[in-house]
Structure 1
Amino acid sequence: MADEELPELPRGIALAWGVAANPQRGPKREMSVEKIVDAAVELAEADGIGAVSMAAVAAKLGFTPMSLYRYVSAKDDLLLLMQEQATGLPPEEHREHEGWRDRLRALFEAQTLIYLRHPWILSLPITGSPITPNSSAWIDAGLEALSPTPLSEIEKLAVTLAATGHARWYGMVTAGYAETSRATGLNPNEVALQEATLFDRVITVEEFPYLRAAIDAGVFTAPDDPFRFGLERLLDGVAMYIDRLEQGGERAPVREWIAVDPAELTGDKKHREAQKAVRDAEKALRDARKLERQVRRDAIARAARARGEA
């Protein structure tokens, strides 16, 4: 095993860690990986990730696309480096907080702000574990916050990933509302009110009784932050679990991954056709139930009229 040669780092990861070989030719003094990434990030900040291409970045820098490929050999590598730059390092201020909970909360807030400042990051696919310096630093910060607890290393990572995932989901929704505000000229409160009005028009008590009750309670226009509530309840659960461990309780078993049919992942044609048949059947069922409710309402109305006439 010791004699086996370690696999070569992918070009993008090697560039992120600063261990990639420099190009042997090209406009070295005028061009650099850093300048390429800076230009690409500027394009994304101005017009979204769809505006980023090797040709667009080259044009912004005044070079040909081939000049870029000598430094960044693939667009996927460029996207990785853009994400790495925009993510940055965790703020040192999170260490000023006392206790694992306050530290995790500070990291959560800082991560959410990254997504709000650079919403184009949310358009990048997640293709695996983040093996770059800045992304690794965020995970390390979460693990450091949990280091005084009796959680196992697996449990610490699970909690860190849960908080990180919640921040990403928070960022996705909040950035989406912010984009709607920019596109419509409405402020966030007006966007929420518009959304509530649309829900009010289509959600009926007969079809969606519990959602209708929530709408009538004003959930879409309430000032409360549901994401903050969710985070705090997540941390409550972790705190209870830590208390249990400190009192000598047993660890929770680590469950298996959710099983997914390989045919679904590979896009098997017969599987897609079967899924479409299920969707069609579900739509037919929804339509039948809707018709049933309408017939019932009509019958009740006719019975009421008949009693009135009698």
Structure 2
Amino acid sequence: MSDVEPPELPRGIALAWGVAANPQRGPKREMSVEKIVDAAVELADAEGIGAVSMAAVAAKLGFTPMSLYRYVTAKDDLLLLMQEQATGLPPDEYRVEDGWRAKLRTLFEAQVVVYLSHPWMLSLPISGSPITPNSSAWLDAGLASLGETPLTDAERVAVALSVTGEARWYGLVSAGYTEQSRSSGLTAAEVSAQEAALFDRVISADEYPALRHAIDAGVFTAEDDPFRFAMERIFDGVEAYIAGLDRGEAHVSDVEWIGVEPAEVAGDKKLREARKEVRAAEKALRDARKIERVALRDAHERVGRARKRD
């Protein structure tokens, strides 16, 4: 056994697990951590996370801010508890689905619904692994879905996190379009059409040939769901990987990933200045190539006119 004492739970996490000490004084019955979190979530759902403050939550409950601090001692703890409540538990339906793929698909779609129901969650930073009960339940559900596969524990975590990440990205983009519709009064289809029209004005075939081709193909106004498509292709890859394991094939990747340098994370001044010069050089190169393309097009036109005269 180790003699090292386990770290003390931060108060927010302790509150989430229901093991934090209760306040020794303050209003009884009328106030509780649960009521405070309920009021904060209602505020965030109605007005966004920017509307949530200890004073605003207290006013909503009819108490003073100091009364709240006896129960939730910091706003960061309140945000953690709000996220925990809004996350909720994963749906039991995933358990009865046939196969890991169907189970994970059910969890993916349920997570998307959570983000669309509480878009303010997407603005909260990710500060580490999920240690609260509900967040832990979602990760546990993802791992349980892969329990009958030959994947290692680390591989199961990687797949479960990819589902969560894709759901978050889906929610982030969808919530942005929803907010655009709300603020502009346009329907989702009208927002997409407006976006496509803007792309159409500024994207040329000379500078962005692949993107121009996609625009002309109507991808920005199509009804296809790129996020579900991407999720299914991730599942295809995992399925192929598992099939290889079932055949006894060893999977050793020889791909070298580019690591993140400490200087990049730290924001090294010389590195920033060098990259600024690189961006300026890249812009100059793009401008020069644009001039070259225009000159080439003009030359072709002059040659064409000369041939017609001849």
- Equivalent in the alignment of 2:241: 241
**Aligned with 1:219: secondary structure?**
coil
**Do the aligned partners of residues 279 and 53 (structure 1) sit closer, same or farther apart at CA in structure 2, a change above 3 Å counting?**
farther
TM-score by length of 2: 0.94
> Given residue 26 of structure 1, which amino acid in structure 2 is its aligned partner?
G
Identity of aligned residues (%): 71
Q: Note the C-alpha offset of 1:104.
A: 0.5
| Equivalent residue number for residue 46 of structure 1 | 46
Write the deviation string for residues 143-171 of structure 1: whole angstroms up to 9, x where unpaired.
11100111111111111111111111111
Per the alignment, residue 115 of structure 1 pairs with: 115
Aligned residue for 2:302? 302
Q: What is the CA deviation profile of residues 69-106 of structure 1, one whole-angstrom value per residue up to 9, with x for unaligned ones?
A: 22112111111111100000001111121111100000
**2:26 match: secondary structure:** coil
Is 1:196–2:196 an aligned residue pair?
A: yes
CA RMSD of aligned residues (A): 1.8
Match of 1:2, SS?
A: coil
AA of the residue aligned to 2:207: E
Gaps of 5+ in 1: none
Q: Which stretch of structure 1 is more off in the superposition, 159-168 or 55-64?
A: 55-64
Q: 277-286 or 97-106: which moved more?
A: 277-286
Say whether 1:153 aligns with 2:156.
no
Which residues of structure 2 form unaligned runs of 5+? none
Question: For residues 250-297 of structure 1, what are the alpha-carbon distances to aligned partners after superposition, in whole Å with 9 as ceiling and x for unaligned?
Answer: 144598885222222223333322232222222222222222222222
Deviations 1:166-203 (A, max 9, x none): 11111111111111111111111111111111111111
Query: Which whole-Å deviations, capped at 9, do the CAs of 1:208-244 have from their partners, x for residues lacking one?
Result: 1111111111111112111111111111111111111
The answer to whether 1:232 aligns with 2:229 is no
2:32 paired residue number: 32
Moved more, 63-72 or 146-155: 63-72
Structure 1 residue 133, shift from structure 2 partner:
0.5
1:291 alignment partner, SS class: helix
The corresponding residue for 2:142 is 142
Sort the Cα spacing of 1:28 and 1:280 in 2 relative to 1 into closer, same or farther, 3 A: farther
Q: Using the alignment, how far apart are the partners of 2:257 and 2:23 within structure 1?
A: 42
Q: Map of 1:14-33 to 2, 5 A cutoff?
A: 14-33=14-33
* Aligned residue number for residue 124 of structure 1: 124
Secondary structure at 1:7's aligned position in 2?
coil
Matched residue, 1:205: 205
Name the structure 2 match of 1:56: 56
Query: Which residue of structure 2 aligns with residue 272 of structure 1?
Result: 272
CA deviation digits over 1:96-122, x for unaligned, max 9? 211111000000000011111111111
Structure 2 Cα separation of the partners of residues 299 and 156 of structure 1:
59
Query: TM-score scaled to structure 1, two decimals?
Result: 0.94
Amino acid at match of 2:163: A
SS at match of 1:160: helix
What whole-Å deviation, never above 9, does each CA across 1:17-75 have from its counterpart, x for those lacking one?
A: 11111112222332211111111111111111111112221222222222222211211
Tell me which residue corresponds to 1:285: 285
Of stretches 246-255 and 161-170 in structure 1, the one that deviates more from structure 2 is 246-255
- Change in 2 beyond 3 A, CA 1:58/1:34: same
Which position in structure 2 is the counterpart of 1:163? 163
